[in-house]
Structure 1
Amino acid sequence: MFNKLCDDISKAYDRVNWAYLDAVLRRWVFVINGVDGCVCVSKLFPMTCLSAMVKHETARGSMHGVKMGHDGPFISHLMFADDCLFFCRATAQECEVLKRVLRDYEEASGQAINLQKSSIFFSSNVDEALRADISSIMGGWHNKKLSKAGNEILIKGVAQALPSFCMGIFSLPIGLTDELERMLNSFWWGNNAEVGKGIKWLKWERMCIDKKLGGLGFRSLQLLNVAMLGKTCWRLIEEPKTLMCQVLHAKYYPNGDFLSASLGHNPSYTWRSIISAQDLVRRGTRWRIGDGSGVRFFHDPWLCTKANFWPSRELCPPHLELVLEADIHKIMSTAVFPSSGVDKLIWHYTPNGRYSVKSAYQLASSLTLDVTHNVEGHWSSLWKLAVPPKVKSFLWRAARDNLPSKFLFYVVEHTDSSFKIRVCMLLWQIWKDRNGTVWNNKSPVPAASVMAAASAWAEWSSVRASAARSSPQQIALAVCLGWHSLPPGVIQCNVDAAFFAEEKMMGLGMVVRNHHGEFVVGRSIILSGCRSVEEGELIGIKEALSWIKELGFLKGVLESDCKRACDAIGSAGRNISEMGVLASLCRAELALLPDFSLRFVKREYNAIAHCLAKAARDFISHHVWTEPPDFVAGLFHIPCSCEQ
């Protein structure tokens, strides 16, 4: 019978007895000049001494570690930075010895054991009575029960991340992933902190649904495994010159590429694992059109649409293939960049065209998970409530009929913010008191329940990091406050894009102001095709730069409210999608205006350009405004106190 103790040193860098450290260093004949060196070893040497103390007790026979196999060594402790694992027999005597070692270490070094982050684990053959005795000896080292919200964070941040290295290389057996998911489901629903048991009110598959659709957003390990293997598949496509790619190419697909490769004869387990993600990669990969020479019109994926990347065709005698009318708009909306050179395979589901595990998992989920598990409701409103996470988790359980009650959707959708908070906190407290009555035989007092709910809300809100909120006057003057004073002769140009889905069009708006913030000239442009937001914003930036150059302005600032577009222009070579090509064209235009800079601004500061973009739908092609139109004229009356 063995137990394992996980120990964390509290503030290891800040807490140290300098006399102790000096004595240790002199004992080791170690001389340090300067304060920085002392800080570097302030944790290293005390932990080394703790290791020596444990080894001493093990040599005396008062502690026994865990033997790793028949001929393997005994392990009494493992250390990494300020985290420690101690192994000993599950007896009161050995736990007393370990407790004494830790107490002596604390007194000598000045450091302290963080009991809040320390825990104890027992082997399966240790009975409950002995577990309780040992936990009491260690003074609070036990498995503390987390709230459902805490369990959620622990599962997502730790448990589901642990096998990620293996899942990026090998396909895990379905039986193993099923067993792991059963364990995670039991852990989340577990009502007994000591034995980890409890009724599982919902299947794991239903809990893996997105939070906006009624689930908890947990990951299916099997789908995550495929998505992570897809990362290796993407390397075979994007980095064909690496040694791994050359070996696999020579062995498994010598006469083609990875997307056309087959399992082959006598494949290795590694290749079986990689090829299992091939179909997912195929479904998310398409061609970015350059000169078009390497893409077959009907036989390769190249349309910029989420549903289907292949054009539909109709066979007509004798040997004609006609495009269906439904695909004409899709073809017209797909960007083509002959100047960019060769065609390139990209991942459709990320803005930069490069594969990501997150987007691949979302694609796999949409293709695999049962849509009948989705539950209608105002789930987004529920998760946005300004209440503690444990209360949101409780409300989710209630709304999923795991408590049950569905009147909550009316509360979160049709009542004011203050009422929502009071109702949600009180319901959570009532449920907590109900559990105390059923399991601990407590008798709650209604008035005390109300006070406890109010106290819990006050405590949580006091420690919550709240962002500074603007007053109504500040909101009204958003455009004014977004203005920065400029030197004489320097202009500011704001640009924005608006999208009209019904007309399958998009509008661009841009406005030039002088260094006083006064209107100089504006422009509205209407374009056919309705592309992604980022592509539309980049097209607007490119058009604005060309227009500024035509007008003869040499110094100024160009502002956009699309951060992704601004970031794409600033990060050369990292984006291989259509968005990346547009960003490179914007960089080329910006290089011709060396005294111009591009910066991101909040949307409310870009209101004038947005209004001009929306007005573009009233014109056939484009319109130049020499005077500010009535619908934005009021935004140019800037009080002197607003200028910065």
Structure 2
Amino acid sequence: MAKNDFCNILGMREGTLNGNYLGLPSVIGRNKREILGFIKDKVLGRSNSLTHKFLPRAWREVLLKNVIQAIPSFAMSVFLLPIEMGKDIEKIMNSFWWGGVGENHKGIRWKSWDRLSVPKRWGVMGFRKIREFNLAMLEKQAWRLIDHSSSLLSRTYKAKYYPNCTFLEAQLGSNPSFVWCSIHEVQPILQRGFAALIHPAGSSWNIPLITSLFNQEDMNLITSIPLSNTRLNDKIIWMEDEKGKYTVRSFYKTLTDDHDFDQAPFWTRLRAKHVNIPGVCQLCNIDEESYFHLFVQCPFARSCWDMFGGVDYVSSNNLLDWLESIFTTKNDNDICGIISTCWKFWEDYRGCYSLEKKPHTGMLKINVDATLDTNNKKMGFGYVIRDSTGHFLYARCLPWPSIFRPNEAEAIGIREALTWIKDSNLDNIQVESGCLLLVNGIIHGHDTFSSFDLIISDIREIASDFDNISFLFAKRSTNRVAHLLAREALPMYGYMDFSMIPFPSIAQVLSLDIS
């Protein structure tokens, strides 16, 4: 009766239950492997059709990633494939990679699919794991049930499976469909605890309530989320993505990004791939290039250590032993100086040192930087303002009693900088930050609800009060003064301002920072 009423309302007739719809079976019985076996057959057929061709290794990679791996994608966005079927598909793809599929193409499979599917950033092929990708595709459907609750599909599932609760609280129920079973499989990943953890009258965390509900580790994680100054309605966001939107890529990465392989030097890995690059140090053109040579053995490095004084570069045979001797025999000030000098060696090697550009005539420029102290759960912000001739005008060191993620820290730094220069009645400002993602977000805006984007919204709102303001990206090597000020702010208990006369620790760097 319900089916007839439903068909009458929509003005359609009830179709037969046999056959496929949009390439997928309309009815799923108990034997999932038999009904979904066509997916494996398609993968096997396409692999066999390409096996007889002589294909270079690079072509095999392209075909495997863009053709063969794409075959089961549509089905995996609806159904949770049986584990054994996923393993069978991976075996077919592994055979194709190593030379062929079938009786006539037997040979050694030099690496398992688990090893080949390690991400490329770890130096492996980065092929797709079927089970993990299947879960990521289904997670997207579950996310849409939550994020698009007014859609027809969401309302249909809610009416049938969870009429009196949300998807996060829904039970599997009796006689569920295979599609609902598949989507419900990923529900535990989305389940989170919710409470009124923010003071309703302001934009601050309800610390007493958080302390009573969570342990110390969870409390630190919660309070490390920055809050916007703007009052907005609550919205569920995906924390694994910078924009707060669920993506299959971000979820798949969380499932597979757990490898910790030893990495050879970058130039060694390039030569292993037959890239023709010089094998000698680019600073001295004498000895073979290595990390130990760059920081310790190179004549250029040794001359610097002689000027630094008290650095032993003779008794150690490798970089780790040398670093261990430095950290065990030197005081904190010497260690900071040695590490900073090593960083300059690296900059000189990479050729990334550059001078800071002056702002346009009539404009003021403020450089912003943030420094994080993870041990003491604190942050420091540094600001320096100069005129169009490069002369120092103002500086501020601002400590912050909590710690956030680096991008969020940079965003809060700019928000506080704009508040400062607005209160100082300054205009015609050029703001420079070392966070490219933040600068692009401020310029173009994001229609998302992550904590990072909410702070960007605060920045854009404050920036609208200025007549002439612009935001630019600055490399770390051209943002050194602000970085030094941010470090100086860490041990402070309140902000410290300087005008016309610079902070002593930045005077020398400031004189070299303008071209």
Q: 1:230 touches 1:274 (CA, 8 Å); kept in 2? A: yes
Partner of 2:285: none
Matched, 1:333 2:255: no
Q: State the one-letter code of the partner of 2:250.
A: S
Q: How far does residue 485 in structure 1 lie from its aligned partner after superposition?
A: 4.0
- Tell me if 1:343 matches 2:227: no
Flag the 1:473–1:269 CA change in 2: closer, same or farther, 3 A: closer
Q: CA deviation at 1:144?
A: 2.1
Residue 505 of structure 1 deviates from its aligned partner by 0.6
Deviation (angstroms), 1:603: 2.3
Does residue 169 of structure 2 align to residue 169 of structure 1? no
Q: Pairwise CA RMSD of aligned residues?
A: 4.0
What secondary structure is seen at the aligned counterpart in 1 of 2:399?
A: strand
For the structure 1 residues 530 and 360, does the alpha-carbon distance in structure 2 shift closer, same or farther, using more than 3 Å as the test? same
Q: What corresponds to 1:494 in structure 2? A: 367
Paired residues of 2:359 and 2:365 also in contact (CA < 8 A): no
Secondary structure, aligned partner of 1:492? strand
Amino acid at match of 1:599: L
Long gaps (5+) in structure 1: 1-119, 125-130, 132-141, 304-310, 314-320, 393-409, 417-469
**Quick one: distance in 2 between partners of 1:588 and 1:343?**
20
Report the equivalent of 2:141.
Answer: 232
- Match among 189, 209, 233 for residue 118 of structure 2: 209
TM alignment of 1:443-462, pairs within 5 A: none
Q: Quick one: structure 1 residues 326 and 191, their matched pair in 2 at CA, closer, same or farther if it must change by over 3 Å?
A: closer
Shift of 1:175: 2.9
Residue 589 in structure 1 maps to residue 498 in structure 2: no
| Residues 465-508 of structure 1 deviation map (CA, whole Å, 9 limit, x = unaligned) | xxxxx9889755x2x3x3144122x2011111111111111110
Q: Are 2:65 and 1:156 equivalent residues in the alignment?
A: yes
**AA partner of residue 343 (structure 1):** D
1:146 aligns with one of 51, 56, 59: 56
Amino acid aligned to 1:560: S
Contact 1:511-1:521 at 8 Å conserved across structures: yes
The answer on 1:385 being equivalent to 2:269 is yes
* Residue type of the alignment partner of 2:168: L
* Equivalent residues of 1:143, 1:193 under 8 A apart: no
Superposed CA deviations along residues 576-610 of structure 1, whole A, max 9, x for unmatched, are: 11112111111111011131112222222222211
* Structure 2: gaps (5+ residues): 1-45, 277-287, 295-346
Label 1:354 to 1:170 Cα distance change in 2 as closer, same or farther (>3 A): same
Q: Which residue of 2 aligns with 1:515?
A: 388
Change in Cα spacing, 1:151 to 1:280, as seen in structure 2 (3 Å) is farther
Structure 1 position 190 matched with structure 2 position 99: yes
Deviations 1:243-302 (A, max 9, x none): 11111111111111111112222222222222222222337x978966569xxx9xxxx9
User: Contact (CA 8 Å) 2:237, 2:245: kept in 1 or not?
Assistant: yes
> Normalising by the residue count of structure 2, what TM-score does the alignment of the two structures yield?
0.68
| Counterpart residue identity of residue 348, structure 1 | M
Match among 182, 186, 189 for residue 277 of structure 1: 186
Where 1:497 maps in the other structure, the secondary structure is strand
Structure 2 vs 1, CA of residues 176 and 291 (structure 1 numbering), >3 Å: closer, same or farther?
same
Question: Residues 286, 515 of structure 1: CA spacing in aligned structure 2 closer, same or farther, 3 A cutoff?
Answer: farther
2:258 aligned with 1:358: no
Partner SS, residue 486 of structure 1: coil
Cα deviation, residue 527, structure 1: 0.6
**Structure 2 Cα separation of the partners of residues 546 and 242 of structure 1:** 41
Change (3 A) 1:123 1:550: closer
Asked if structure 2 preserves the Cα contact closer than 8 Å seen for 1:493 and 1:557, the reply is yes
Name the count of aligned residue pairs.
Answer: 404
**Hey, what's the Cα distance between the residues in 1 that align with 2:49 and 2:213?**
70
Given that 1:190 and 1:199 are in contact with CA atoms closer than 8 Å, whether structure 2 keeps it comes out as: no
TM alignment of 1:3-152, pairs within 5 A: 143-147=53-57, 151-152=60-61
* Residue 205 of structure 1, CA deviation: 2.2
- Residue 266 of structure 1: aligned partner: 175
1:542 CA displacement: 0.4
RCO higher in 1 or 2 (8 Å CA, sep ≥ 6)?
Answer: 2
Q: Provide the rounded CA distance (Å) in 1 between the counterparts of 2:237 and 2:195.
A: 6
What is the CA–CA distance in structure 1 between the aligned matches of 2:175 and 2:413, rounded to whole Å? Answer: 54
**Matched residue, 1:68:** none
Once residues 121 and 233 of structure 1 are traced to their aligned partners in structure 2, the CA distance between those partners, rounded to angstroms, is: 32
Q: What displacement does 1:219 show?
A: 2.3
- Larger Rg, first or second structure (1 or 2): 1
Pair 123,575 (structure 1): closer, same or farther in 2 beyond 3 Å:
closer
> Are residue 181 (structure 1) and residue 90 (structure 2) matched?
yes
For residue 376 of structure 2, give the secondary structure of its aligned residue in structure 1: coil
Check whether the contact 1:498–1:507 (CA below 8 A) recurs between aligned residues: yes
Q: In 2, Cα distance between the equivalents of 1:415 and 1:145?
A: 42
Structure 1 distance, partners of 2:403, 2:411, is: 13
Q: Are the counterparts in 2 of residues 290 and 339 from structure 1 also a CA contact under 8 Å? A: no
2:191 aligns to what SS in structure 1? helix
Q: Does 1:611 align with 2:484?
A: yes
Deviations 1:70-117 (A, max 9, x none): xxxxxxxxxxxxxxxxxxxxxxxxxxxxxxxxxxxxxxxxxxxxxxxx
After superposition, the C-alpha distances for 1:216-236 in whole angstroms (9 at most, x for unaligned) are: 433211110110111111111
Identity of aligned residues (%): 31
Paired amino acid for 1:352: K
Write the distance in 1 (CA, Å) between the matches of 2:350 and 2:171.
65
Give the Cα–Cα distance (whole angstroms) in 1 for the partners of residues 262 and 350 of structure 2: 36
Does the CA-based 8 Å contact 2:92-2:101 persist in structure 1?
no
Contact 2:228 2:458 in 1 (8 A): no
Q: Provide the residue aligned with 1:81 in structure 2.
A: none
> Residue 21 of structure 1 aligns with which residue?
none
415, 419, 426: which one aligns with 1:542: 415
Cα offset for 1:575? 2.2
Measure, in 2, the Cα distance between the counterparts of 1:123 and 1:569: 50
CA distance in 2, matches of 1:382, 1:391: 11
Greater per-residue strand proportion = 1
